[in-house]
Structure 1
């Protein structure tokens, strides 16, 4: 099982490798992994803010990271207009690379 640091390192390398192609404004983790309380059953919650939002690219990121982490990944696109509960949670918990 990967810990928070390992996941952040992989995410950092992934962002660096795909920055030009995917045009990330920010990418990070939130949820149990960000809080350091994940277990082997936990998924990895990823928050992505793109300079130019693209749902196809989000699908590619999800697939790539599931392979990298070897577990389920949930991706949330951070934006101004979104569910306020989720937005507040991300703003409090997110760790960006």
Structure 2
């Protein structure tokens, strides 16, 4: 997590979706909820973080912010998110 904080200005990172529910398959992507430090939610930080995780874990990543969560899924996502840092 230290690398994410220093390099990408990540405040918190959480897993949700099938991986968090222990229902993932070989076809599943990794759903991550990210919160950046104040004023650091830039396109570059977002995309660089997404590509870094995809390259290192060799899995497709669906990276979202709280602001980008669709209203109809927001409560469920926030409830099931497991924060890793």
Over aligned residues, Cα RMSD in angstroms?
Answer: 1.6
Equivalent-residue separation in structure 1 for 2:11 and 2:61 (angstroms) = 19
User: Which portions of structure 1, spanning 4 or more consecutive aligned residues, are displaced by more than 4 angstroms?
Assistant: none
Paired position in structure 1 for 2:81? 94
Per the normalisation by structure 1, the TM-score is: 0.75
Q: Which runs of 5+ in 1 are unaligned?
A: 1-14
Equivalent-residue separation in structure 2 for 1:64 and 1:83 (angstroms) = 25
Deviations 1:11-64 (A, max 9, x none): xxxx22231232212101100001001011100001101112112111111111
Among candidates 38, 54, 65, match of residue 77 of structure 1: 65
| Matched residue count | 82
Task: Tell me the CA shift for residue 93 of structure 1.
Answer: 1.1
Q: Which runs of 5+ in 2 are unaligned?
A: none
